[in-house]
Structure formats: C-alpha cells, structure tokens
Structure 1
Amino acid sequence: MSEDASAPTRSATSTTHHHGPVVTMHGGQGNIGINNGTSNATFGGPDRSDVALTAAVNELSDRLRELAPQLTPDQAQAVEDALPELVPDRTVLRERALVLASVAQIAAASGAIGQPVGLALGQLFGALG
C-alpha cells in the first residue's frame, strides 16, 4: 500500500499542513498579505534570522509611530505611508529600498528626536544581512 505524499503525517502533537496560499488576518490591521511559500515551522520552527528581522521591523515601526507626531505634516504623512511597507520579508524590504531611504532621511533631518529611528534602522539593516 502506497502512502499519499501530500497527506499530513499523524503524531502525538498536532500538525497543520497548508497546501497553497495562506492568508493570516489580524483584526483587519497590520496584515501583510499572502504567504505563497512554505513555513519554516514545517522544519522545526522559525529561523533565528527571521525572528531578528521581525523584531527589527517591529522596533522600527514602533519608533516611527512615536516620532510621527513631532514631525512636519509632510514628514508625518511620509512616515504614515511607509509603515505598511515595512514587512518582515527580506526580498520585499530590499525591493523597498527607497522607502527605507526616505525614513532614514526623515530621521536624520529630525535631529536628536530621530535618533531612535536611526538606531532601529541600523538593527533592521543588520537583520537584513
């Protein structure tokens, strides 16, 4: 008797298999789109570099939200526009280099109040590798 290669294996722990696109919704906000790939969880959990990237994106987003009320209206709008573009995906972030450059420019122009954003950008660039 042959086994179906696409059938999930049964074990003492619960296993979930997703075949095809997966969409995870979080209350209608902060949704990052469709995952068309496989999950690292299938192979024993998330990669440490993915955890670092997610943490860096979250830190940068938090620092930008704190900075926005202290900016000019145009700068605050640029930050607001950039926030949805910041996703924990290396390929996507590399493609969005202009967004990161814009955020860096705003942080630098903001002086001391922009320093936490600059530090968070440094963490993000380090996580991107």
Structure 2
Amino acid sequence: MTGNSYHYGDNVNIHGGRGHQGIVKTQIGSDASARVDPAVLAALAELHAQIVELRAQPQVPRASAAILDEVLPALSDTAAVPPQERHRALVAIAGVAATVGAVGQPVAQAVQAVVGLLGG
C-alpha cells in the first residue's frame, strides 16, 4: 500500500514570491455567533448584565470579583468560545453566586437557564 496518502485539512505550499498573506477563508457561515441559537445569545446577554450588577455589590469579595472578570469573556457572543470553556465559566460564575448569598441568587438562576439552553 505504498504510495497512498491521505490528507485532511489545509495544505499550503509556497515557493518564492513576496507579500504572502496566508490562507484567506471566505466560507459562508464561518461567523461563530451566526451558529448560536438566538435564545442562547439573549440568555448570555442577560447573564452578562447580571454579572456586572453582582460584581458591583459590596458583598462580593475582591477575589470573587476577579474570578468573574476572568471568566466573563467566555460569555461573549462574538468570539468562538469552545463549549468546554463556556461550561467552566458558567460553573465558576455559579460558584461565586452561591457563595455571596441572596444577592447572587439571580445570577445563579440565570446560569441555570443558560446551562439548560445549552443542553447540559
């Protein structure tokens, strides 16, 4: 079976030349936010707003606020966020919400809603 070769993915060979720009992919539907359910986007936006509000509460310790700041980008609807990273962020947010008491309850409920929409 020598001579058989299998290749998956991009293959680029450049020999000489100037001003190479790399691979330009113009695929329809390549925008990550275009593939996300509008209900999920709305729930993420609501959760984001609630996190900003929670973070401003005096009951939230600095270390917990830092955790919220760190995971907030994983809720973005514009970036291609891997599902596992988004799930980790949601778990971290739920943990902070649970530790700050009653002021964290709306955030905990919003996290549950997002997790439900994401199917997990």
Could you state the TM-score of these two structures normalised by the residue count of structure 2?
Answer: 0.63
After superposition, the Cα gap between the structure-2 partners of 1:38 and 1:80, relative to the gap in structure 1 and judged at 3 Å, is closer
Give, in whole Å, the separation in 2 of the partners of 1:124 and 1:37: 21
Q: Give distance in 2, aligned partners of 1:84 and 1:112.
A: 25
Q: Which residue identity does 1:115 align to in structure 2?
A: Q
Higher relative contact order (CA 8 A, sep 6+): 2
Secondary structure in 2 aligned to 1:84? helix
| 1:62 match | 49
Residue of structure 1 in register with 2:98 after alignment = 108
2:50/2:107 contact within 8 Å kept: yes
The answer to whether the Cα contact below 8 Å between 2:33 and 2:77 also exists between their aligned partners in 1 is no
The 1:37/1:73 distance shift into structure 2, 3 A limit, reads: closer
50, 61, 67: which one aligns with 1:72: 61
Q: 1:94 Cα deviation (Å)?
A: 2.4
- The answer for unaligned runs of 5 or more in structure 1 is 1-18, 23-34, 41-46
Q: Percent identity?
A: 32
Mapped to 1, the partners of 2:117 and 2:77 lie a distance apart of 10
Counterpart for residue 73 of structure 2:
84
TM-score normalised per structure 1: 0.59
* Deviation beyond 6 Å, 4+ runs, structure 1: none
Output one character per residue of 1:68-114: Cα deviation in whole Å (capped at 9) or x when no partner.
Answer: 0221111111111111111348x835211222111110001111000
Please name the residue that 1:51 is paired with: 38
Q: Can you give the 5+ residue segments of structure 2 that lack an aligned partner in the other structure?
A: 1-24
CA RMSD between the two structures: 2.9
Work out the CA distance in 2 between the residues paired with 1:36 and 1:81. 26
